[in-house]
Amino acid sequence: MAGVKVDRFYLGYAFDFTLSEIRSYTYGTHELTLLARFGDNPRRYRWINKY
């Protein structure tokens, strides 16, 4: 996983390599994340753990 933050934008990349027997059918998974922050104050979220 890697990411770059420039001004109010964040770009992230992740790669998942399969280790099980299914690897002969897939070459892994790629994921891109783009985040943009608006305004001066970042919002604060309260996370609730279910378990």
pLDDT tens by residue, 33-51: 999 888 766 566 666 776 6
Tokens of 39: 């305004």
**If you search the block for the tokens 């378990």, which residue do you land on?**
51
In terms of pTM, does the model score above 0.85?
no
Task: Check residue 42 and give its pLDDT.
Answer: 58
Query: Is there a contact between 12 and 32 (Cβ–Cβ < 8 Å)?
Result: yes
Where residue 26 falls among pLDDT bands split at 50, 70, 90? confident
Confidence of residue 13 (pLDDT cuts 50, 70, 90): very high
